[in-house]
């Protein structure tokens, strides 16, 4: 069982080149607000002690891996598969991540979100043809995303230093640990006894499919921001702090709700 979990985790991490651009897309550069959960740490909101190393890795991911590997693959994928097919595949992959979201909703004491997650999964897995069609979304059944890194933050674990590694999305130390746990929650490695090569291929296909749905990521961005690295970093950290705050406010645990309301002054 542990072996399957490790294989699933490796597969989940195999092709995450697109995630750094995705972080820039989801959070536009702007002022970064302090997060209420950082009172337990001695870090600033943009704590980046490994900036020199991170900038080099970011440049490698963006200028080499994304430009010369992911973009060409995404263009070929887009040429082979029409838009509706690629969106259906994306829906199906998203549907398979239900266990990760459900476990973390429960860990954050968010029963309503957990119920919505189960409802979405049941509707999309049946009426939506194994998740290919997001029927739940069309009828108004929505559930927020949740992951282990967010859960750790909700319970007061500091984010740690910002970190960029080859092939991986932007991370903090806390989110890196969380991704390892989330990989173990991937149901494919437990339900389907597939070889590691097949798992990696499926994961890679998913990342290429996602990149094909984001063809304009980073286009003309360098012309509108002075420091692309800092903009992506700040957007990512701000988005993660917002996710932690959302989890605390939505929790039924009085301790977590009080933590969301408590003021904080992050220190360097």
**What are the boundaries of each domain within the chain?**
2-40+52-261
Per the listing, tokens 């590694």 go with 165
pLDDT of residue 6: 42
Question: Residue 237 and residue 45: Cα distance in Å, rounded?
Answer: 7
Band (267; pLDDT cuts 50, 70, 90): very low
Given this model, what pLDDT does residue 201 score? Answer: 77
pLDDT of residue 88: 96
Smallest Cα–Cα separation from 105: which of 235, 260, 1, 253? 253
Could you read off the pLDDT of 18-41 as tens digits, one per residue? Answer: 343 343 333 333 333 333 434 434
What's the angle, vertex CA 26, arms to CA 219 and CA 122, rounded to 5? 125
Q: What is the pTM of this model?
A: 0.79
Give percent above pLDDT 70 in the chain.
74
What is the band of 43 on the pLDDT scale with cuts at 50, 70, 90?
Answer: very low
Residue 66 clears pLDDT 70, i.e. is over it: yes
The percentage of the chain sitting over the pLDDT mark of 90, rounded to a whole number, equals 60
pLDDT score recorded for residue 263: 63
pLDDT for 221-256, tens place per residue? 666 677 889 999 999 999 999 999 999 999 999 999
Specify the pLDDT at position 184.
84
Whether the per-residue pLDDT at 15 is higher than 60: the answer is no
Which candidate, 95, 93, 86, places its Cα nearest to that of 215? 86
172 DSSP β-pair partners: 162
């Amino acid at each position: 069982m542990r072996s399957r979990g490790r294989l699933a985790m490796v597969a989940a991490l195999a092709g995450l080149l697109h995630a750094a651009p995705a972080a820039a897309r989801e959070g536009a550069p702007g002022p970064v607000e302090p997060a209420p959960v950082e009172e337990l740490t001695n870090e600033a909101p943009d704590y980046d002690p490994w900036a020199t190393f991170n900038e080099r890795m970011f440049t490698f991911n963006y200028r080499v891996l994304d430009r010369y590997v992911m973009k060409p693959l995404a263009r070929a994928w887009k040429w082979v598969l029409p838009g509706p097919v690629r969106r259906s595949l994306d829906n199906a992959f998203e549907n398979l991540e239900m266990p990760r979201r459900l476990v973390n909703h429960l860990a954050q004491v968010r029963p309503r979100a957990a119920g919505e997650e189960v409802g979405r999964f049941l509707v999309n897995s049946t009426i939506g043809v194994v998740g290919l069609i997001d029927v739940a979304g069309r009828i108004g059944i929505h559930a927020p995303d949740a992951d282990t890194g967010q859960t750790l933050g909700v319970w007061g674990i500091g984010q740690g230093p910002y970190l960029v590694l080859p092939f991986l999305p932007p991370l903090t130390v806390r989110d890196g640990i969380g991704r390892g746990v989330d990989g173990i929650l991937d149901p494919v490695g437990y339900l389907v006894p597939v070889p590691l090569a097949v798992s990696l291929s499926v994961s890679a296909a998913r990342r290429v499919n996602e990149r094909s749905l984001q063809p304009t990521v980073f286009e003309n961005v360098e012309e509108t921001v002075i420091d692309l690295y800092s903009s992506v970093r700040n957007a990512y950290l701000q988005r993660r702090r917002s996710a932690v705050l959302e989890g605390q406010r939505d929790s039924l645990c009085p301790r977590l709700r009080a933590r969301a309301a408590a003021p904080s002054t992050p220190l360097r």
